[in-house]
Amino acid sequence: MFIEERHRAILDWLQEKGSITTGDIQVQFGVSYDSAKRDLRLLEEKGLLKRTHGGALPMHQVALGRPAKNTIRDISSVKENYFAIAMKAVSMINQNDVIFLASATVGYLIAQNIPDHIKVRVVTNSIVIAEELRAKENVKVILIGGEMNDRGNCYDAFAIEMVRRLRFDKCFITSAFVSAEFGLSVQVSSHVGFMNAVMDSAKQTIGLFPTEKIGFDSIISICPVERMNIMITDWDAAEEDLKQFDEKGVEIVIAEKQAAGSEL
């Protein structure tokens, strides 16, 4: 197979499966580790993919479309890195903390895994997360109100005003994408004011960003990356990206690999 054919096949693999590792390239195409790394470097230089620590991801359009309409509760198979990031976040919650949980898959996973021995007050704008926490005797919930969207979340002026009247020890947030240049970014402008209000009310801002969200930009910037005190990511994040965040004063925490369902 010529190198051009292999490169087309690598891009087809990415289109179909959403990621590729250097090991996949070695096995699929019978090439060395160095050749696999060179293939990814050449394709990245052409702007056709983005390298990660162990492989590559496809490039994303700025206006990346919303996934099929569902709720964050509809998790049929949790990605290993999402679960690991959630568990690392849980380990940062202290007794009697007041925390804000973002309405996202990783936020829902945090809610699911708050241990029974920790008394905590959770603030959230997600009716799904609030319902998950309702049965936990050790967790008190403050549900941010306002006009609810089709996913059970509130971001409007009523929600912003309520957040401004609260204070958090920690807020756990995420966004569509994050990059050192454009910061945290989203597709929907209504999220911008709400997320900034949350960060304004928190003593510590902790970003939750799997590799898939790092190094890309969505349409609207929420804020610079410097507004995060800590960013939790996974083992595949590219060292070049993490170095850029570190240079901007963001503490990087790498979540350890673990199987979904393991306990703290």
Task: Give 15-76 as a DSSP string.
Answer: HHHS-EEHHHHHHHHT--HHHHHHHHHHHHHTTSEEE-SSEEEE---TTPPPPSS--TT--S
Does residue 208 come out as left (phi exceeding 0), alpha (psi in the -120 to 50 range) or beta? beta
* Assigned CATH for 3-58: 1.10.10.10
* φ, ψ dihedrals at 129, nearest 5°: -65, -40
What is the per-residue pLDDT for 37?
86
pLDDT tens for each residue of 9-45: 888 888 888 888 889 999 888 889 889 888 888 888 8
Helix (H) or strand (E) holding 185: strand 183-186
Residues of the chain with CATH 3.40.50.10470: 80-254
**104-134: per-residue pLDDT in tens?**
999 999 999 999 999 999 999 999 999 999 9
CATH 1.10.10.10 placement within the chain: 3-58
The two structure tokens encoding residue 53 = 């620590």
User: Residue 78 has what pLDDT?
Assistant: 60
Q: Determine the pLDDT at residue 62.
A: 65
Biggest alpha carbon–alpha carbon distance for the chain: 63
Adjacent-strand bridge partners of 179: 183
Taking the domain 80-254, which CATH number applies?
A: 3.40.50.10470
Which pLDDT tens digits describe the chain residue by residue (264 residues)? 678 888 888 888 888 888 888 899 998 888 898 898 888 888 888 888 888 888 888 877 665 544 444 445 554 456 899 999 999 999 999 999 999 998 899 999 999 999 999 999 999 999 999 999 999 999 999 999 999 999 999 999 999 999 999 999 999 999 999 999 999 999 989 899 999 999 999 999 999 999 999 999 999 999 999 999 999 999 999 899 999 999 999 999 999 887 544 544
- Alpha-carbon gap, residue 77 to 74, rounded angstroms: 9
CB-based burial label for 37 (10 Å; 0-12, 13-18, 19+): middle
- Residue 66 is predicted with a pLDDT of 43
